[in-house]
Structure 1
């Protein structure tokens, strides 16, 4: 086995093991789950681990180099209109390829899948253009965030209540395993051309802006469609009793996701082929490496999606429902927080973000610190989401104060932390959230006879919000430590000067 692939699979195993252990312990002590369903879950976890390994290596070999090269080329292009058209096209194409979006669209049948997907893709395309223009014209990220979040909350007043949580969730699901590596790398490529002191800070913030576009687009769609009788797709838990049943579930779904991912990757490959013909950016050796990387990405996504959709969605729904139906229904909060703490490490795009942050910051922001902050943030958000499921509190009571705090912090933390924080919100709410935490909340909500569309949906939005605060708090701590080190250094220098001066006087 390729040594790098082996390392990636080992990393994935370490990330997925805690969440697998939690589910197995719960099924033994608190929630009775059939042996067949548990075997299906373990098989899904195995595919997820192998898929994450392949995907991570594929992203390093293909998606990141393509994204960086595209960003650099866009900056060199003298025709602004051409850059805008290319940027919109890229955002549109990669969003359609995003597997998380397919999952969300299937769970909200109130609007036709293609209409919802194309609307969200257009939203990402428009805001990727805004992100490009921000870097080119050096517009402050905090200013844009304040303007667009204000527009978002004002617009939400006119959106049907049953559709608000779905709209906010759409912002989180679009920034997943395909979109994030490409957009992050594109931001790095764009900023690398500039040599000013703010170029490093401006390499982040692309994912943050691309998370806003879908929310606004879906809100406008909700106003025009007015889906007052909105529905959701209930999770169907298959009856599996034997190993043959388990194998059948995976063999039936594997070709489906192979076709889905292949069709999703096709536009990206076509775009890259045209890009290479025009720019001649890569040599034969690099093209071969990128080709292998694309294959690895394809294999990884197929295995990952098959694993989480077949093995994780039913178990997530079953766990939530069984806990809500037991005498321990308030245990949904601590158990949800525990699952949230560990599940974020299993998000494939998190590894891409952490690596990019560590490289851009020169190791000043280590991946361990990022992981800890993200885990604490997601644990908090899942705990709040479970409180909403149990009490039916409106999502506004959490989102509005949360975003106000997040935006207020942007005035006090180093600029690079603002970009990283708002990027991390979109990255944290990936396929693991959509395929495990959302069904977990839906299962609990159905059992408690709550309104799934208003009480369970919105968990992705919560997961996308809390890292904005957690990472910026880390930025405040970092800023304070830097100030203390500067003060100590200044004191040491003054002491040295005093000693030297005193010595000279004695002579």
Structure 2
């Protein structure tokens, strides 16, 4: 009964959020474009599926992903667990936290539906120059590094703004030297990571760490991991493009050298 009540409540809240979007779309279609909506039955059925799907997804977040992320953070930072590594330094005692953060960042990003869609479209538009798995792995590596670094920041208690400022300074420098083709895609890749799969677990991990590590504030230290998950993929995607360009240039230079040596008397 509690589950049913929660489902109905979530469905009503989702309807309240989605109806304004539908009103804008239908309003422009009817009053600005002045044409009837094509396949109105399929469109309405699609909106109904969106409402139901979002409702179940939001319930899943509240009942599974958020508690799971917080539970993992609590277990990895429990005094009884950390005490077994008391011979290490303060930040080194939490090395399992960094490993878990890296792994959960990489795995959730690989499974991110928005990233899969962007990677497939980028592959189609570039004529195969941008590989689907190459882009997905580059973004996942950036998210994993960013979340692991963000978890280390929470453990140490350092101010977040210094990390973000330094990250964007690196992004600016990379933007000046990276291939122009990849720069817009790299910036978009930082946005697609903050989506349905990645955000709930990352946010739960950050809040769980801040609540269980002594001296940390859930409000000040618990949030901010998403910012790391947005900045570092930009770096890794541009780095992936720079590495691919360097390898291509190196291969071309070798081919020229072979041709020159073949033409020598």
Question: TM-score under structure 2 normalisation?
Answer: 0.82
Q: Secondary structure at the match of 2:221?
A: helix
1:257 CA drift (Å) = 2.4
Matched with 1:334 is 99
Q: Deviations over 1:317-336 (max 9, x none)?
A: 12111211143451111111
Matched with 2:8 is 255
Distance 1:489 1:303 in 2: 56
Matched with 1:309 is 62
Q: Cα–Cα, structure 1 residues 258 and 409, in superposed 2: closer, same or farther, change >3 Å?
A: same
* Alignment of structure 1 residues 443-482 onto 2, 5 Å: 443-449=208-214, 450-482=216-248
Q: Cα–Cα, structure 1 residues 297 and 349, in superposed 2: closer, same or farther, change >3 Å?
A: farther
Question: TM-score under structure 1 normalisation?
Answer: 0.45
* Alignment of structure 1 residues 66-465 onto 2, 5 Å: 248=2, 250-277=3-30, 278-279=32-33, 284-285=38-39, 287-325=40-78, 326-328=80-82, 330=94, 331-449=96-214, 450-465=216-231
Q: Cα–Cα, structure 1 residues 488 and 312, in superposed 2: closer, same or farther, change >3 Å?
A: same
Q: Secondary structure at the match of 2:153?
A: helix
8 Å contact kept, 2:75–2:81 = no
Q: Secondary structure at the match of 2:197?
A: helix
1:495 CA drift (Å) = 9.7
Q: Deviations over 1:276-328 (max 9, x none)?
A: 2232678734x555444433333332222221222111121121112111434
1:490 CA drift (Å) = 6.6
Q: Secondary structure at the match of 1:415?
A: coil
Distance 2:106 2:23 in 1: 38
Distance 1:282 1:459 in 2: 45
- Structure 2: give runs of 5+ residues left out of the alignment: 83-92
Of residues 439-448 and 288-297 in structure 1, the stretch that sits farther from structure 2 once superposed is 288-297
Q: Secondary structure at the match of 1:453?
A: coil
Distance 2:181 2:226 in 1: 24
Q: Deviations over 1:245-293 (max 9, x none)?
A: xx73x433322222222222212212221222232678734x5554444
8 Å contact kept, 2:110–2:137 = no
- Structure 1: give runs of 5+ residues left out of the alignment: 1-246, 499-507
Q: Cα–Cα, structure 1 residues 433 and 259, in superposed 2: closer, same or farther, change >3 Å?
A: same
Q: Cα–Cα, structure 1 residues 491 and 273, in superposed 2: closer, same or farther, change >3 Å?
A: farther
8 Å contact kept, 1:321–1:440 = no
8 Å contact kept, 1:385–1:456 = no
Distance 2:205 2:195 in 1: 15
Q: Secondary structure at the match of 1:455?
A: coil
1:488 CA drift (Å) = 6.5
8 Å contact kept, 2:138–2:236 = yes
Distance 1:289 1:493 in 2: 60
Distance 1:262 1:471 in 2: 37
Distance 2:180 2:52 in 1: 37
What is the aligned counterpart of 1:483 among 243, 249, 255?
249
Q: Cα–Cα, structure 1 residues 282 and 341, in superposed 2: closer, same or farther, change >3 Å?
A: farther
Distance 2:5 2:213 in 1: 32
Distance 2:59 2:72 in 1: 20
Matched with 2:87 is none
Distance 1:275 1:481 in 2: 49
Q: Secondary structure at the match of 1:416?
A: coil
Distance 2:8 2:211 in 1: 31
Distance 1:251 1:292 in 2: 22
Number of equivalenced pairs? 251
